Structure 1
């Protein structure tokens, strides 16, 4: 199944905003760093990845994901949908 990447990213941005209950002053975008910025803690990150798996009907491979300098929605989506 071919996923519309921009639609998936938009849904994940909405998930992050909902998680923070609208109390985020940062502009959340697909390229926004999520963990170092404090937008998501480790439990929320697992929740976001679980939502990504459900949304895309694909399994996220934790063993090959390299967050590099941080975690963004774009990097999660690209890793999961490749």
Structure 2
């Protein structure tokens, strides 16, 4: 019974997170666009927070693609939970 509960929780929370992200983007689109906008003064293209977020996302995508640790261990844990 635990496995089915975990799958249900995972599905529901994934949906909730997706919904929250969509609402966040809707209400904060102007601020997000401003973060990514090139400054007219030419001081910087991206703010440090935006650059850090992009780097983290890229590292996670690349690490997942190449199955590198610790992302590989997380995927193995998920597979072992599915098998149980």
Q: TM-score, normalised by structure 2?
A: 0.28
Q: 1 or 2, which has the higher helix percentage?
A: 2
> Looking at both structures, which has the greater relative contact order when contacts are Cα pairs under 8 Å and sequence separation is at least 6?
1
Higher Cα Rg, which structure:
2
Q: TM-score, normalised by structure 1?
A: 0.28
